[in-house]
Structure 1
């Protein structure tokens, strides 16, 4: 499958390269590449899942190195199973196991101690199995006694470690109790100071409230006077607005009359032009008539002389 993934990826990249560079056959190459990718995805659906081996069961010191929340939640359960392997059984809740781990860490109980204890128990089991052989009863008894002594020594060592852990835990609890008492006293003093501050704040608020009420009364009176002035001002403004409307109407009428006057003047100018033309024509006619009369007078004078 790894070779198929590599070959298919190369075909897909070639198809994309042909399409980006707009080389001939880009459509065919892109189709082939996407088809190969679809085939790879189809075949990958039948590939078996990779099995994650839980190495913390063999190496407990690897617990806590994972960033997966599910793995972190499963760590107490693995520690519980490891504790069962060392102690030979036993249940208990996760909280009890966590406290037991903390106690073991504070007591500095190393795996070597558990290994010696387990070796002693294994020897005890071996001795117990050998008790069934009647011929070796004496030897088994001796070995049994020796193993029991070793187991007792291991148990005593474990008991001493647990006692030391208990004393350390008691000392830490005493320190925590003292710190809690100090914090309680500090919180009580802070609460008292806070109550005093609240009382002072309450008095200040009452004083400010009284001042604000008096100020509101004065402001109300001033607002009443301002309202009266505004009413008078509105009346004057309405009167002025009415006068302005009347003036505007008169101005519009004046502009209308002025337009009519302009039209009349325009008509007068046209009539004047016509009058001027007629006067010119009349002058020309009079000149012509004078010429005719002059010629007639001249002819009449010539006729008179001949007689």
Structure 2
């Protein structure tokens, strides 16, 4: 009968598994398993009852515990067994068995009783255990695959980080060189601007009385210098404005050349006014 129970329970578990996983064929396996289980229960009705052990053969004191007529006889037999009880008490006292030992014994008996009460759910527990084992195996395989993917991803990330670090190092070195070059060029431009400022100051001091008509041009020059100051500030903030800065320097040079040409023509005109004949020759030769 034990083998029959095992085979029937296996069919029921397989049918339930097919039903839970929604596999094809569960419409056949699940009813087949339930029919087999019903047949097993039918056979179990004819199974002989479990043999009840006669504990009175081992413990005579238990005989007649449920018969009121034999209570008096049990009391007399208890007196006869008092010597045995006293020996048992001596054994317990010599064995140093305290309340803690009896408490542990009581807990063990309670656990044994709970386990015996739960034996009726053995079929359901076996089904759940089989499903649980399958899920654990699947989860273990998934975890192993996930671990392999994680290791590969970690290696790829480390390689990418190493390459990115090298790229950042090269970029930082290039930026540092560009900043150094821009700083040197800025110093050269500052020196040139300082020389231009000195020249313009000397020119303005020398021709202040004679070049009042050129105030508009001087205002434009001052506006250009203001633009240069702003341009220098923008140059410190961004290296991308260097090209624009160079264009402004070139334009300033052209404007200064034009301004110097205007100043030369004005000086020539003033010389003509002071010395018409000599200046006329200069103008004639100059026009040639």
Judge same fold: TM > 0.5, yes or no.
no
| TM-score, length of structure 1 as denominator length | 0.30
| TM-score, length of structure 2 as denominator length | 0.32
Structure (1 or 2) with the larger CA radius of gyration: 1
